[in-house]
Amino acid sequence: MKRVTAWFAIAFIFAGLAVYQYTSNDPSSVTIAAQAEGFKPKAGFEATVFKLPALDEQTYEVGGKQGKLSFVNFWASWCGPCELEAPDLKELHAKYGDKIQMYGLNATKYDKERNAREFVAEYEFQFPILMDRSGEVTKEYKVDTFPTTFLIDSEGVIRERINGVIPMEEWERLIAKWM
């Protein structure tokens, strides 16, 4: 009986911590610049414009009319599929980095920033890594599985939403299709 009570108490504490983390947002770390009317984070809808700070201490604006295809990859350092995808992202940036805007978006609210920095260093990412510390952008784009990638065309319209890992050949096909 004591074990059951102890396990229940531990579960209750973890649930309380999860609720606290979920409800405590720091609104100063993210700017959702222009929420599109009736925004739905799927193909055919205008992407919500947002600004986030990156690991390189700059702030980047994503979405809207950017002039070229934007590749926005939501990820977390603890995500196994994200580890599988990382070499492909590095290769895609090497191949298309001058033709598309490529961003990694760390769901920092659900991750640890130190772990994200280690992940970026390990995989030698050279593209901007945005930090969604409050979780607002991840929530706005309804990302609940990692990795999730959005291809946003030069006019700010979402053309693809890819949940999970896909082969390199499929990435190349989709980029060529929307570039």
**pLDDT tens-digit readout, 10-63:** 655 555 544 444 444 444 444 444 444 555 788 889 999 999 999 998 999 998
The answer as to whether 172 is a domain residue is yes
The answer as to whether 18 is a domain residue is no
Q: Do 82 and 47 contact (CB within 8 A), yes or no?
A: no
With tokens 């940036």, the residue in question is 93
pLDDT of residue 41: 82
The answer as to whether 21 is a domain residue is no
Give start and end residues of each alpha helix (H) in 1-160: 2-23, 80-96, 113-123, 136-140
The answer as to whether 8 is a domain residue is no
The answer as to whether 69 is a domain residue is yes
The answer as to whether 135 is a domain residue is yes
pLDDT of residue 25: 46
The answer as to whether 7 is a domain residue is no
Domain count across the chain: 1
Residue pLDDT, tens place only, 139-153? 999 999 999 999 999
The answer as to whether 94 is a domain residue is yes
Domain that holds residue 135: 27-178
Residue pLDDT, tens place only, 92-139? 999 999 999 999 999 999 999 999 999 999 999 999 999 999 999 999
* CATH value at residue 165: 3.40.30.10
Q: Do 137 and 27 contact (CB within 8 A), yes or no?
A: no
pLDDT of residue 73: 98
Measured distance CA(140)–CA(163) in Å, rounded: 16
